[in-house]
């Protein structure tokens, strides 16, 4: 079942610009294609070249960006699962800076982060692929805003595109 493209009221207003960059109207297709693109980019990187590399003081390292993508996808997939299953409880937000600071992504091998990213993406696609039209349209409260399952899926894809652009434009010159 193709998710369809979300309307503006199906996701956080701050995500509109990023979601606008997601091609097509199928969240699963977008996430699958982006996953391949992310892996190809990350596999082209040299472990020594990215070690502790930041584009500016106070910014995350390349490995911290990868770790953030993994964490964010897990959280958004959990939110989408809750909403798809009709859980009406409001879901909390999270502080991505606290999450990155709470672990040491920099100590991990790049290959291990890539493998973890691939595992998480495969799990996300496995969650989304069997959803029915009504499940894609279900809504819940997430971090204080109303979101549909497809809105969350497109938010995930748009967020990743944002970080891909940042990696290419600021880190990997």
Write out the DSSP string of 125-138. HHHHTT--HHHHH-
Task: For residues 168 and 173, give the distance between their C-alpha atoms in angstroms, rounded to a whole number.
Answer: 7
Q: Contact 151/6 with Cβ under 8 angstroms? A: yes
The per-residue pLDDT string of the chain (173 residues; one tens digit each, 9 = 90 and over) reads 899 999 999 999 999 999 999 999 999 999 999 999 999 999 999 999 999 999 999 999 999 999 999 999 999 999 999 999 999 999 999 999 999 999 999 999 999 999 999 999 999 999 999 999 999 999 999 999 999 999 999 999 999 999 999 999 999 97
Q: Look-up: residue for tokens 């997939």?
A: 77
> 140 φ, ψ to 5°?
-150, 175
CA distances from 59 to 65, 66, 107, 167 (A): 9, 13, 17, 12
State the pLDDT at residue 173: 75
Going 60 to 65 to 80 to 9, the CA torsion angle's sign is: positive
Provide the angle, in degrees to the nearest 10, between the axes of the packed helices 62-84 and 110-128.
20
**Span 5-30, pLDDT tens digits:** 999 999 999 999 999 999 999 999 99
Question: Do 73 and 156 form a contact (C-beta atoms < 8 A)?
Answer: yes
* Ranges of each domain in the chain: 8-171
Taking the alpha carbons of 21, 94, 114, 2 in that order, is the dihedral positive or negative? negative
The class (CATH top level) of 8-171 is: mainly alpha
Tell me 91's DSSP state: B
Determine the distance from the C-alpha atom of residue 66 to the mean position of all C-alpha atoms in its chain, rounded to a whole number.
10
Angstrom distance (rounded) from CA 121 to CA 74:
9
Reading the block at residue 93, the tokens are: 């937000």
């Amino acid at each position: 079942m193709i998710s369809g493209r979300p309307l503006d009221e199906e996701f956080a207003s701050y995500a509109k610009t990023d979601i606008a960059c997601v091609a097509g109207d199928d969240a699963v297709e977008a996430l699958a294609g982006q996953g391949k693109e992310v892996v190809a980019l990350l596999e082209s990187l040299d472990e020594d070249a990215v070690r502790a590399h930041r584009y500016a003081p106070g910014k995350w390292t390349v490995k911290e960006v990868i770790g953030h993508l993994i964490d964010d996808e897990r959280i958004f997939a959990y939110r989408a699962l809750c909403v798809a299953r009709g859980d009406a409880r409001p879901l909390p937000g999270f502080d991505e800076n606290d999450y990155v600071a709470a672990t040491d992504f920099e100590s991990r091998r790049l290959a291990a982060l890539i493998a973890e990213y691939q595992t998480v993406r495969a799990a996300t696609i496995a969650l989304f692929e069997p959803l029915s039209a009504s499940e894609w349209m279900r809504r819940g409260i997430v971090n204080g805003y109303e979101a549909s399952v497809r809105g969350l899926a497109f938010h995930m894809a748009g967020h990743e595109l944002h970080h891909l652009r940042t990696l290419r434009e600021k880190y990997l010159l």
